[in-house]
Every structure is written in structure tokens, then in C-alpha cells.
A = this chain, B = another copy of it.
Amino acid sequence: MTKPRSRRGGGRPTIADVARKAGVGAITVSRALREPGRVSQDLRRQIQAAVDELGYVPDPNARALASARADVFGVLVPSLTNNVFAEVVRGIYDSLSDSPFRIQLGNTHYSGLEEERLLQVFAPQRPAALIVAGIDQTPLSRKLLETAGCPVVQVMETGPDPVDMMVGFSHFDGGRTATEHLIEKGYRRIGFIGARMDPRSQRRLAGYRAAMEAAGLFDPRLITTTPVPSSVTLGRELFRDALAKMPTLDGVFCNNDDIALGVLFECHRASIDVPKLIGIVGFNDLDMMHVSFPSITSVRTHRYEIGTRSVAMALAAIAGNPPERRIVDLGFELMQRESTAR
């Protein structure tokens, strides 16, 4: 004599309960919720009333199973704590907060293998879209993306061969622009300091090198890098290494702002005048760069916009309107500040 419906789970109302209460078929309730335009206004109102009264919320799992399509955006980033990716992710969340889509976030830890593993976990869920950081997927990852059967957006960088869509900017150009700025300002022995040399860092380094070579200033001993994850502490240490190796150093292009801040602090500590003796350029333009003393020149990137834009493109593609430009370059801006103003 127990209610048949309560066999498992709780007694949460189902679509059938709503249908009964509204005096319609279950499928009509389903339609009223998903494609209101296809249900007459009268029924729509009745159904809405029943939904409200019962507090009905569709079960996303049942929906995904029946429609072979989950309302999920899969998002893969290499780090959760790196401010750069956190901003991108924030843009994605904000853009999706009013939509029916949920987000499945994966942390690849800068590992191609981990990315493959996560993609293999995400794919079976038949996500509505996939957003992945970077353009250097392994062959398997690339294949998984291509066969995922949903819009795919590669973010952070632009490159020649998108899986589907791309939103980002050229790290090579960013690195070159930063370096050219130092050269223009009269710095000559310009070092490159970088940690966690991921593919984007490598391309910024390549941009640095191109600028230095074009000016006839390149010297491999000016480059100081490490695979260790980036931090302000590390910036300080690498700068000390660089200076020990190359005492005539008069400028540094830092792979990111954490490093740049570490360099600045070390200059303070060692009483090295910035920008007189050493010019400093960072990358990303975190909030603190314009507040520090001296303020630090940096390459501003549009991280939040990368997130919002990638969602907009994916949403358009889902709606059947794939954007005509599959590659969106959001560019960057060189923010000139006191650290290079001599």
C-alpha cells in the first residue's frame, strides 16, 4: 500500500505530478518548460501554476538521459588559482548564471595527459559545449574535441588551426610589444624572466627574442627561466640569478606580473633604482601593477572578456548561429607606467 512512486529517492514532485495537477499530459508540461511558444497560453499558465505550487524542478539527470544532451558546459583550465584563469572562469560563470546551463570545471594542472583524462570524463556526459584553455592539445585530446559533437572554444590564445572556435590573443605579439617598448625606452641589456614555461609563456619568450634579434640585442644569457610554478617569491629569486649571471642587466621583461612584482621588491631591497637602473615590464596587468611604487608597465590582457566572449560564441553555435569569424582576437594593450619611464 506504499505509494509506488516513493520506491527510491525522495518524494520530490515529478513531471507527472505537475501534469496531473494541471490536467494535461506530461509531454505538454515538458514542452511548456522548454519551448513555451509551442504551448497555448492557457495551458502554459495552468502548468506554471502547478509548477509553482508543487515547487517542481526538473531533474537534470533524467533530462540528460532522455535527450542525450546535458545542459553542461565543460571547462578545462590549467590552474584554478592563477588569477589569469580565475578571471576567465569568472567571465564564463557570469555569462552562464542566468542560463539553464551548468558548468563542469576541470583542472588540468598544465598537463596534457590530465587534459586527456578529463576530456574522457567530460565527453560521456555529452556536454552542450566545451571550453578549453590553450591551443596545444595532444592528438588524442584534439580528436576527443573534434568528435565531441558540440561547439568547442579554445581560449587564451589565437592560432591558425582551431578545432572549432577560438578566443584569445597573440602571446608572441604581446611579448614582442613589451620588449620593443623597453628597447624604445633606451634599455639595451634586457632580460627575460619566466617561470612555469607553458606554451603561452614560450610564445611570449619567442616574441621577446624576435624583438631583441631585430634590434641586434639578443643574447641567450639574458634569458632566465624555470619550469617551477610562478610566484612573487620566485620572481625575486630568478631576478637575483639573472643579475648574478649578467650584472650589466638594465631591463627585464617578466613573463607575468607576479614575477615582475618579485623583481620590483628585490630592486627595493637591493636599492636598485627603477626605472633608472632597471626597467621592468610585466604581463597581464593585474590590479596591483598601477598601484605599486613605482607603478609597473604591463601588457593588459582581456581575461574576463575571453570568458564572456567564448560563452557567447558557444551559445550562438548551440542556437544554430555559428559566428562567421571562428577566430576572435581580443588583442592586448601596453600600459606604460613608471617602471619604464626614464
Is B291 within 8 A of A268, CB to CB?
Answer: no
> What distance in Å separates the Cβ of A231 from its nearest Cβ neighbour in chain B?
5
Residue contact A291 to B236, C-beta cutoff 8 Å: yes
Q: What interface size band does chain A fall in?
A: 35 or more
Name the distance in Å between A17's Cβ and chain B's nearest Cβ.
14
C-alpha gap A8/B93 in the complex (Å): 30
Name A126's contact: one of B9, B83, B104, B231 (CB within 8 Å). B9
In the assembled complex, the Cα of A3 lies from the Cα of B68 at a distance in Å of 17
B58 touches A61 (CB 8 A): no
In the docked arrangement, what's the CA distance between A86 and B103, Å?
Answer: 16
Query: A73-112 CB contact bits vs B (8 Å, 1 = yes)?
Result: 0000000110100110110011001000011110100000
Per-position binary interface string of chain A over residues 262-277, scored 1 when its CB falls under 8 Å from any chain B CB and 0 otherwise: 1001101100000000
Flag whether A288 is at the interface (Cβ < 8 A): yes
CB distance from A78 to the nearest CB of B (A): 12
Chain B residues with CB under 8 A of A266: 293
Whether the Cβ atoms of A288 and B232 lie closer than 8 Å is: yes
Nearest CB on B from A243, distance (A): 16
Whether B89 pairs with A80 at a CB distance below 8 angstroms is yes
Beyond known contacts A10-B126, A265-B291: 7 more, CB 8 A cutoff = A57-B120, A57-B124, A81-B83, A232-B287, A236-B291, A261-B288, A266-B293
17 A-B residue pairings within 8 Å (CB atoms)? A9-B126, A58-B124, A59-B124, A61-B61, A65-B65, A81-B87, A93-B107, A94-B107, A232-B287, A232-B288, A232-B291, A233-B288, A233-B291, A235-B291, A262-B291, A265-B293, A268-B268
